[in-house]
Each structure stands twice: as structure tokens, then as C-alpha cells.
């Protein structure tokens, strides 16, 4: 089983979008039992809050539910529990390293590193208002990451 944790600043837009898109893709590919997928924030600002309504609507447009989501903060113990910690931008990566005490096992990556655009950040729609662009990046990143999940359950 592969364990993946998606991380963004508040855990109400990008990381939950990635969490639920990835869960959807894994289920479509018959690998639901082979992956544990969750999301978290680097900040405490939105703890306990549901997915931001425009992000929730964007997921719903594609038949994906995020019911029951409550934002939570990344904990140092998450580094030991998860195989991959996937950040949405470089600020997330810096904060993830700070919270986790570094990345000795090389588990921390950008989502877009799993696409043909490594190093690209997933823009925060909280600020841009462009939930479609975020959706496209999240989908592309999760589709690339799906190959890692598939490889883990074929092994």
C-alpha cells in the first residue's frame, strides 16, 4: 500500500482537490485498497473548515464529492506515516520541511513534478480566483502520480 498526503497552505482548496481527485482516479483504476490518500495544511488558519465552496463546486462538476472534509494541519508524525508528501507550491515545501524537520527520506515533492512541468507551482485559487486552472493542474499532477500508485500495487 502506498500512503500519500497532499499539502497546501490552508487545506481548503488545492490539497483537498488533489486528495479527492486522487481518490477518484485510484478508485477508477481498481486500486482503492492499495492507496491511503489524505490532505493537510501547513497553517492553522482553516483548521476544521470544509472545502472552500468554489473548490467544492469544481469537484462536483466532475462528479467528485468531498463530503466530510475538515481541514487539518500537517504534523511531524505524518512524515513517518506517509510515503509521499506532495506540496502545491515552493512555500508549502519550505513549510513542510520545517514542520517535518527536514526530508532525509526524500518523501517531499511538488505535485507538478509528476507532470511534464516539474518545478511548476499549482496557483492558489484563493488568490487567483481561477479554480479551472487549479483543477487542470491538480488533475494533471494526480494523473502523473497515479503511475506511482499503479507501480506500487503491481510490485
Catalytic, 72? Answer: no
| Choice among 8, 66, 100, 142 that is catalytic | 8
E strand or H helix at 139, and its extent? Answer: helix 131-154
Catalytic, 78? Answer: no
CA–CA separation, 28 and 12 (whole Å)? 24
Catalytic, 14? Answer: yes
| Choice among 14, 66, 89, 142 that is catalytic | 14
For residue 109, the 8-state DSSP code is E
Cβ–Cβ < 8 Å for 6, 35 = no
Residues contacting 94, CB < 8 A, separation 6+: none
| Choice among 13, 78, 89, 124 that is catalytic | 124
Q: Which residues are catalytic?
A: 8, 14, 124
Amino acid at each position: 500500500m502506498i500512503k500519500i498526503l497532499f499539502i497546501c497552505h490552508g487545506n481548503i482548496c488545492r490539497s483537498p482537490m488533489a486528495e479527492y481527485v486522487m481518490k477518484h482516479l485510484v478508485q477508477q483504476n481498481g486500486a482503492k485498497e492499495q492507496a491511503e490518500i489524505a490532505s493537510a495544511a501547513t497553517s492553522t488558519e482553516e483548521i476544521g473548515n470544509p472545502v472552500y465552496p468554489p473548490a467544492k463546486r469544481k469537484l462536483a462538476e466532475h462528479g467528485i464529492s468531498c463530503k466530510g472534509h475538515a481541514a487539518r494541519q500537517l504534523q511531524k508524525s505524518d512524515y513517518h506515516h506517509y510515503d509521499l508528501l506532495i506540496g502545491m507550491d515552493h512555500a508549502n515545501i519550505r513549510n513542510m520541511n520545517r514542520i517535518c524537520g527536514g526530508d532525509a527520506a526524500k518523501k517531499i515533492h511538488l505535485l507538478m513534478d509528476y507532470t511534464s512541468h516539474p518545478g511548476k507551482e499549482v496557483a492558489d485559487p484563493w488568490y487567483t480566483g481561477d479554480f479551472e486552472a487549479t483543477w487542470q493542474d491538480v488533475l494533471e499532477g494526480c494523473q502523473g502520480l497515479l503511475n506511482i500508485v499503479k507501480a506500487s500495487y503491481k510490485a
